[in-house]
Structure 1
Amino acid sequence: MEVGGVLTYEGSKCLRQRLILSTLSGKPVRIRNIRAKADDPGLKDYEVSFIRLLDCLNNGSSIEVSQTGTALLYRPGILTGGRLEHSCPLSRGIGYFLEPLFMLAPFCKTPISITLTGITNNELDPTVDMICASLVPVLRRFVGSDDGPSVKCVRRGMSPGGGGRVVFTCPVRRSLTAFQWMDSGQIKRIRGVAYTSRVTPTVANRMLDAAKGMFLKFLTDVYFTVDNAKAVSPGFGLCAVAESNKGTIVCAEAMSHTPGQEGGVAGAAASTPEEIGEKAASRLLEEIWRGGCVDAIAQPLLLTFMALAPTDVSKAVLGPLTPYTMHFLRHLRDFFHVTFKIDEHKEERIAEDDSSLPERRTGAAKLVLTCIGVGYSNIGKGQI
């Protein structure tokens, strides 16, 4: 709903989406009744930290928060970029803050180089390993060059102690190009990393043996590396990545519970390394079954670049849309007036001797999303 030239929303849901698209579009946004009826009303510490991060990226932005923290008015400025450092609260992972930067970084005035400290791996947010595997290739497809983009995990930090350190760098672009991404290809190899912190090193071997045992039933090119880190908190996990012959990359991850919680590493019901390895493998197989040219966490990033592309037709094949992506499509319509046409993807019929046999479908039902971009231009880039 737009009131007086300001888009107005209710509640805390999709707060990051609204602030990101407000920053890109230049349209102010007002959010009211943020957990107004909760026992702890208002913005959470990680949401306040994200707002401060946006303020550091912007020049000329204006942020007004009510005394109770239940109302927010955000007027964006011009994205400047540059060298920044940001300390992320331990209530959320670095992925909560790093994921939105992939949408904003290409449209800054100067190339961005930001150092984030906090938790690199937790169960709530996309981990740094997943972001490196899934989002970096999508971003490189649009702004790829010799100088980035890149995500470097300098030090791993497990939940709840943190202590991780990640450096994200990205060049800037004046504008994007329209594209059509219709063929996801066939999976040709699986890679991944089994990481541990303050547990016996044999845990990593037990995880990757369990995961490889499931993958080797389908293909032989399977390889995992081991990362035995010395983070503040104990924990372990496995990130698995599948790559197709057309450059499509999908990933999935599973990790141990946070110490102190029910079923945590320090508890009696802690997940065994074998269970973690099998869970990560099952999640990756599910992502492969879902199909599409990108995996679930990369859907919003791809749709953003499609909407901001020149005034030409962009088209991509995706698997079933996640609830987060559905909300993102609605917000793209609100901020940029971009509407996507969604059709069912009809796969090529596999030749059969008997034409009466039903058509065979590989994986879940896929969708073709088509839109005409708004011709977005990086204003700050033009002022250099």
Structure 2
Amino acid sequence: MTSAQPVELDGSTLEGGGQLLRIAVGLSALISRPVSIHNIRASRTPPGLRYQHAAGLRLVAELCAAHLDGCETGSTTIDFVPQSLPVTSRAYTADPGTAGSIGLLLQVSLPCLLFSPSPGSPSTLLLRGGTNATHAPQIDYTQHVFLPFLRRHLGLDPTLEIVKRGYYPKGGGEVRVSIPAIPGPLPPVTLTERGKVKTVRGRSYVAGLPKSLADSMCAAATEVLVESGLGIQAAHIKIDSVREKPADAVGSGSGIVLWAETEDGCIFGGSALGRKGVDPVHVGREAGRELVSNLAHGGCVDEYMQDQMIIFLALAKGHSTVKTGPLTLHTRTAIWVAEQVTEAKFRVQASESGAVIECDGIGYVRPDLAMAA
């Protein structure tokens, strides 16, 4: 058992949601430093852990043989005492039993498995729940924006297969992820030049609903992009309009996910979920406007990658510099947690139009190699 003093965290700090929890326990597992978190999701209704949060905590606890107290639905306090990361590659499963986000289950577990001392085959995750959930990254964003960022800028190569889509309220989606382990440390990230948008890709989808809804979302998003004033031509836009086969999805749902790539290799996302009683044209425009907003500020990452990259910058060796749009509350929270749990140091130069995030990372290496050194 680790003898380090636990880090005490107020879970209501800044954004005060599940992200604070995910980053804290992910870093705790890696550096073998206990964390105690209270006031979890204190301002949410209802407060405390939901099924998805508890499933993620149990998964990370399994990954590092942690002693975990307070992991019940509704709990507002947890104590997480990690032991060690697994010494061989393994297959893991997590299932909240609801439509809770699969993308968020991956977020909390990925850093641990990347640094697992696994000289053989990659570790694998079978994650169940919602593939396209509210208040969370759609799995298409994870596949087409988040994972390409890890490959291009950090040399990581997890692969993701969507086995079955799962929609609210049933969930039931399945995603398989293969995660090759690395010795570490991660390289620093320098990302300050964006370039012009060269392509926009996307997926407009329905399950258990008429395909015409997907076509309407696609057309509306395309119109917004072409009229944005960002120089995006219709010829550079390719959005697939899809009606899911019944065997490939659980429940009914609809939505659209867009991703744009620039000449310098930056990727930005925008998305929207269909809702009962909401015109699909409105949904398509909503996704198009979100992508346009993420492109208009001149930064090199979108508002979601802005906070998702923080844990990796903290773990990297050396000085990272990333130009972003305006700093989000989620990003401020991610930085706060990373500095509380690790010795990483962040600096933010903010302006009305955007920010530059700098980080001196801790140069994390695989535990067995750190002991040998």
Q: Normalising by the residue count of structure 1, what TM-score does the alignment of the two structures yield?
A: 0.83
Residue of structure 2 in register with 1:31 after alignment: 37
Whether the 8 Å CA contact 1:240–1:253 is kept in 2: the answer is yes
2:293 alignment partner AA: E
1:1-384 equivalent positions in 2, closer than 5 A = 5-11=5-11, 13=16, 14-34=20-40, 42-58=48-64, 60-65=65-70, 69-80=75-86, 82-90=90-98, 92-110=100-118, 111-142=122-153, 144=155, 148-175=157-184, 176-217=186-227, 218-220=231-233, 221-229=236-244, 230=246, 231-257=249-275, 264=276, 270-310=277-317, 312-344=318-350, 365-380=353-368
- Give the aligned residue type for 1:371: C
In the alignment, is the contact (CA less than 8 A) between 2:191 and 2:321 conserved in 1? yes
- Distance, in Å, in 2 between the alignment partners of 1:38 and 1:239 is 27
Whether the 8 Å CA contact 2:327–2:354 is kept in 1: the answer is: no
Secondary structure, aligned partner of 2:131: coil
CA–CA distance in 1 between the matches of 2:75 and 2:272? 34
Contact 2:130 2:168 in 1 (8 A): yes
Query: Does the CA-based 8 Å contact 2:313-2:359 persist in structure 1?
Result: yes
Judge which range, 243-252 or 202-211, deviates more: 202-211
1:142 CA displacement:
4.7
- CA RMSD of superposed structures (Å): 2.7
Contact 2:99 2:171 (8 Å CA) reproduced: no
Task: Identify if the C-alpha distance between structure 1 residues 319 and 198 changes in structure 2 by more than 3 Å, giving closer, same or farther.
Answer: same
SS at match of 1:79: coil
Deviation at 1:344, TM superposition (A): 4.8
Report SS of the residue matched to 1:116.
strand
Over 3 Å counting, the alpha-carbon distance change for 1:337 and 1:252 in structure 2 is same
Report the residue type matching 1:165 in the other structure.
E
Equivalenced residue count is 349
Secondary structure of the residue aligned to 2:52 is: helix
User: How has the CA–CA distance of structure 1 residues 35 and 301 changed in structure 2, closer, same or farther, with 3 Å as cutoff?
Assistant: closer
1:47 deviates by 2.1
The answer to whether the 8 Å contact 2:327/2:350 transfers is no
Q: Is the 8 A contact 2:99 2:133 kept in 1?
A: no
Other structure's SS at 1:207 match: helix
Q: CA deviation at 1:34?
A: 4.3
Determine which structure has more spread, i.e. the larger CA radius of gyration.
1
Does the 8 Å contact 2:99/2:170 carry over to 1? no
1:42 positional shift? 5.0
Task: Give the fraction of aligned pairs with identical amino acids, expressed as a percent.
Answer: 27
Alpha carbons of structure 1 residues 290 and 89: separation in structure 2 relative to 1, 3 Å = farther
Aligned-residue offset at 1:178: 2.5
Read off the aligned partner of 1:159 and give its amino acid letter: Y
Quick one: distance in 2 between partners of 1:9 and 1:64? Answer: 15
